[in-house]
Amino acid sequence: MTAFDANWSLLTPEMVLAALALLVFTIDFMTGIHGKKPFIGKLSVLSLLVTAVLVLFMNNSGGQIADLYLIDSFAMVFKLIILVGVAMVIMISLHYLDRNEEIYQGEYYSILLFATLGAMIMVSSADLITLFIGLEILSISSYALVGFKKHHRHSTEAALKYVILGGAASAFILYGMSFLYGLTGSTSLLEIGQVMPTLFADYTVIMTISLIFMLVGFGFKISIVPFHMWAPDVYEGAPTPVTAFLSVVSKIAGFAIVLRVFTFGFLGVHEEWVMIIAVLAAVTMVLGNIIALTQKNTKRLMAYSGIAQAGYLLVPVAALPFIGTFSINMILFYSIAYLMMTLGAFAVISLVTEDAGTNDLSSFAGLFQRAPYLAISMTVFLVSLAGLPLTAGFIGKAHIFFGAAAADMLWLAIIMIVMSVVSFFYYFGFIKQMFMTAPKANDEELKVPTSLNAVITVALAVTLILGILPNIVLDVFNTFNWFALF
Amino acid sequence: MVPITLFLALAAILFCIGLYGVLTRRHLVIVLASIEIMLNSVNINLVAFSAIGPFANISGQVFSLFIITVAAAEAAVGLAILIALYRNRNSIDVIKHDLLRW
């Protein structure tokens, strides 16, 4: 089957989302440049829901467009996670943009929708060119989003750092891909995967270079140590909802392509890369958690916490060749848990730091007296991030632990447990501020806007339900045959 | 006929020059130009493989066209951000932009 007689209707969700993003863009310039435009935000949430429904009903039988674009359950679940995540990010943005009128509101939402489109293309692609285009749509949109407070010194500096390092990371990925193409004559990951074992035996040096260059580039995108230095700076400078977007949606989409490339392209030579990834995961967990201990700025702290979480998510990637589909289940379950607890935490952080006018940890002082519901939900999110029982984070980590143990990587699993204990200390810093410190003299009761309340309630409900009844999701995952591969 | 290794060597040298530029230069415009050099070294690789590689076919040239397009978009966004930064800070020296650290 060639691209000419392929079933292009499988692309309906992406096309509809692109059309709706352009519609948002058009409505924006028809309603004037300045001023608040909450209706555009609501329209964007609606377009994401429409796309999610289309993904559920158009993509549930599977299929593929030539060897370029795969519609499998792996892509479908990742797309749903991304769409729900972006919808929650937009709900957080509604309040943030209400407080920051200098941001051009319509453009903000449409660029966010285009970034989502890029992430959706990424998770479905099975071809180097498609993968690269999806990645760049997401990255270039993110560069613009980070610099959206353009009269703000921190925001522009963060955006420029992100452009420079992101561009260099893209160049690394492409340089690795160029050897992959040159020695196989194909850009399709399916075809590359078939010839990989013989290819690796013939051109060991070049293929190792190619593998390492791609790993450096992808490692940058998912912010693992030692390619993480951009993350705290960019997260601190970016508008808070964009920080939430980067730490959740862009990271999850990055993990999706890492899985695609390493399962489809490099599974045949897994003994070459499993150890590298396991060591990177260990270093990421250790450094991410330890540097987080020294942070006093909430957004930088969440950045290092996100780096540590990327380390936990990397453990099942290293275990993948040994335990197969089980590892995909773990990554997807932890992705859902991570999405809910991180976005919930960012919803609270966005509200509290905007109200205090500073990102310092002390802005949380006495939150329990000012807004008890916020303080209690924030505690649940932090406890889940740290991995205590009765939360989704605990179940996710427990599965990752047993998976790593089953793959004979007990040392990695033990590092993970030790580092989770270390992470209690910095998450406890928040809890101490909220419950044990008196509020500042001029702080009044904090009013929670409806949109943020909705995000926090949904995130709280999912975190607790998945913590108590994880089988609701896991049973569904077990019925899926993720790729045709396993 | 020129062997393919010469083209690959040229691309590798350009990639290293670009990376060196990104890591060491203080002028932000030159840093952005160095990224373009890195991306263009990839184009040389792809076009060389596409013309005289072991499995020569047209996909490599298509890939390099996509890279050129995306690099243009990236440069546009990068320069726009650079101008915003210059208006805020009146400097495009890398060393002076150190508000965000540790």
Q: What is the DSSP letter of B41?
A: H
At A54, which amino acid appears? L
**What integer pLDDT is reported at residue A318 of this predicted model?**
93
Instruction: Find, among A440, A441, A442, A456, the residue nearest to A362 by Cα.
Output: A440
Whole-prediction pTM value? Answer: 0.95
Note the pLDDT tens digit of each residue in A216-232: 999 999 999 899 999 99
pLDDT for the residue A481? 78
Hey, what amino acid is at A478? N
Q: Find, in chain B, the residue whose alpha carbon is nearest to that of A178.
A: B46
Helix (H) or strand (E) holding A98: helix A73-99
A40: its two tokens? 């555009």
Whether B54 is covered by a domain: the verdict is: yes
CB B80 within 8 A of CB A150: no
ipTM score of complex: 0.97
Dihedral (CA of A345, A348, A351, A352) sign: negative
Which residues partner with A184 through β-bridges? none
Backbone φ and ψ for A188, nearest 5 degrees, come out as -85, 130
Residue A1 pLDDT level (bands cut at 50, 70, 90): low
The tokens of B83 are what?
Answer: 């101008």
* Measured torsion, CA atoms of residues A433, A434, A435, A441, in degrees rounded to the nearest 10: 80
Question: Within chain A, what is the greatest distance between any pair of CA atoms?
Answer: 71
Q: Tell me, yes or no, if B17 comes closer than 8 A to chain A by beta carbon.
A: no
Rg (CA), chain A: 22
Angle at the Cα of A459 (from A74 to A134), degrees rounded to 5?
35
- A30-52 pLDDT, tens digit per residue, is 888 777 888 999 999 999 999 99
- At B31-82, the pLDDT tens digits run 999 999 999 999 999 999 999 989 999 999 999 999 999 999 999 999 999 9
User: Which domain, by its residues, includes B86?
Assistant: 4-96
- Least Cα distance to A385 among A305, A472, A328 occurs for A305
- A305-353 pLDDT, tens digit per residue, is 999 999 999 999 999 999 888 889 999 999 999 999 999 999 999 999 9
The rounded distance, in Å, linking the Cα atoms of A139 and B27 is 23
Helices (H), chain B: 4-24, 28-52, 59-89
| pLDDT at position A485 over 50 | no
B 24-63: CB under 8 A from A: 28, 31-32, 35, 38-39, 41-42, 45-46, 48-49, 53-57, 59-60, 62-63
Q: Calculate what percentage of chain A has a pLDDT beyond 70.
A: 99
Give me A338's structure tokens: 């991570």
Q: In this complex, do A182 and B88 lie within 8 Å of one another by their Cβ atoms?
A: no
Q: State mean pLDDT over A422-428.
A: 93
- pLDDT class of A65 with cuts at 50, 70, 90: confident
Handedness of CA A377, A155, A307, A254 (dihedral sign): positive
CA dihedral A481, A463, A78, A168 (to 10 degrees): -130
What is the structure's pLDDT at A421?
Answer: 93
CB A54 within 8 A of CB A12: yes
Residue-wise pLDDT for A365-417, tens only, equals 889 998 999 999 999 999 999 999 999 999 999 999 999 999 999 999 999 99
Q: CA A262 to CA A264: how far, in whole Å?
A: 6
Question: Does residue B102 sit within a domain?
Answer: no
The percent of residues above 90 in pLDDT, for chain A, comes to: 76
**Is the pLDDT reported for residue A484 higher than 70?**
no
In this predicted model, what pLDDT tens digit does every residue of A189-247 receive, in sequence order? Answer: 999 999 999 999 999 999 999 999 999 999 999 999 899 999 999 999 999 999 999 99
Pick from B66, B82, B101: CB nearest A160 = B82
User: Is pLDDT of A442 > 90?
Assistant: no
Shortest alpha-carbon distance between residue A132 and chain B (Å):
9
β-strand partners of A69: A65, A125
Amino acid at A142: S
Provide the CA A444 distance to its chain's centre, in angstroms.
34
Q: How far apart are CA A83 and CA A113, in angstroms?
A: 10
Size of interface A-B (CB pairs under 8 A): 144
* Residue B16: how many other CB atoms lie within 10 Å: 13
- List CB contacts of A475: < 8 A, sequence separation 6 or more: none
Average pLDDT on A83-96 reads: 95
Cα-Cα end-to-end distance for chain B: 53
- Centre a 10 Å sphere on the Cβ of residue A413 and count the other Cβ atoms it contains: 20
pLDDT of A486 higher than 70: no
CB contact under 8 A, A186 and B19: no
Per-residue model confidence (pLDDT) at position A357:
87
> Is it the case that residue A441 has pLDDT exceeding 80?
no
**Structural domain contains residue B101:** no
> B12 in a domain, yes or no?
yes
All residues of chain A having their beta carbon less than 8 Å from the beta carbon of residue B49 are 178, 181-182
- The number of distinct structural domains making up chain B is 1
Does any domain span residue B37?
A: yes
Give the CATH number of the domain where residue B27 resides.
1.10.287.3510
Alpha helices by DSSP H, A100-152: 105-124, 128-146
Query: Minimal Cα distance from A146: which residue of B?
Result: B81
What digits encode the pLDDT tens for the residues A129-138?
999 999 999 9
* Residue B72 falls inside a structural domain: yes
Site of tokens 């197969």: A324
Residue of B nearest to A162 (CA): B78
